[in-house]
Structure 1
Amino acid sequence: MAQFGVNPVVIINQPVSAEKRDWDTGLCNCCADVGICCCGTFCTLCLGCQIAGSMNECCLCGTSMAMRTLVRTKYRITGSLCGDWWTTMLCLPCSLCQIKREINHHN
């Protein structure tokens, strides 16, 4: 169905850059947002629920490795499943604070 010697090109998916980046703030960078840091320290589950709500996920998912992986994938942040697991297991409050700061930065 070429007209005038031009073949039509059908684009099925929008091309996306495969470049990845680092987190906006470090894992222990509490000074970036003291309010989030206090919430993560004194009410970890509340912060987890806030994160899950902002990502339209189940409240119980907010404190899991899966939520960290979801955020990392959505915002094209470098890392791995193994790294997400270790970060979540070793310092859950710091992990949640970092996730919340990242979400706030993108919203």
Structure 2
Amino acid sequence: MTTKLVIQQPAPVMDSRVSDQWGSGICDCCEDMSQCCFGFWCCPCFACITTRDYGQALCLPLLDAFCLIPPINLAMRVSMRHRYGITDTICHDCAYASFCSLCSWYQMSSEMKRRAIPITLISSTPRQPL
């Protein structure tokens, strides 16, 4: 008589809540005080880290200091809208990049954290051997 041992691993399940809007408003920087303080006291460092986390060159935002409309902030907002399917206008992106630069960087950082899809295992209760 032979015994058959069957082992099944639980399959990963991804739960995604996709939205076509920004996850936070342009003035919602007080939701995460540590990021808010970091961005306020050292905006260039915060922008560089956000850019690196997005997958771009670390020091790219430092080029924004030389222009009237910060091109890197604007380009990142447009890229993020396209990547996440957020409906907004280039006019809003231009205005936020020009007049609310710190808030814009915070909004993008917050959006990346909100859009990260964690993998949750279900049915992971171990079975007793037969």
Q: Normalized against structure 2, the TM-score is what?
A: 0.62
Residues 44, 61 of structure 2: 8 Å contact kept: no
Aligned to 1:81: 90
Task: Give me the whole-angstrom Cα distance separating, in 1, the residues matched to 2:89 and 2:61.
Answer: 18
**After the TM superposition, which parts of structure 1 deviate over 6 Å for at least 4 consecutive aligned residues?**
none
| Higher RCO (C-alpha under 8 Å, 6+ residues apart) | 2
Larger Rg: 2
Task: Give me the whole-angstrom Cα distance separating, in 2, the residues matched to 1:76 and 1:40.
Answer: 25
Residues 40, 93 of structure 1: 8 Å contact kept: yes
Task: Give me the whole-angstrom Cα distance separating, in 1, the residues matched to 2:113 and 2:19.
Answer: 19
Task: Please state if 1:64 is matched with 2:73.
Answer: yes
* Structure 2 spans left out of the alignment, 5+ residues: 1-17, 63-71, 117-130
What is the root-mean-square deviation of aligned Cα atoms in Å?
Answer: 1.9
Q: Normalized against structure 1, the TM-score is what?
A: 0.74
Identity of aligned residues (%): 30
Task: Give me the whole-angstrom Cα distance separating, in 2, the residues matched to 1:52 and 1:106.
Answer: 15
Task: Please state if 1:36 is matched with 2:35.
Answer: yes
Q: Secondary structure at the match of 1:101?
A: helix
* Structure 1 spans left out of the alignment, 5+ residues: 1-18
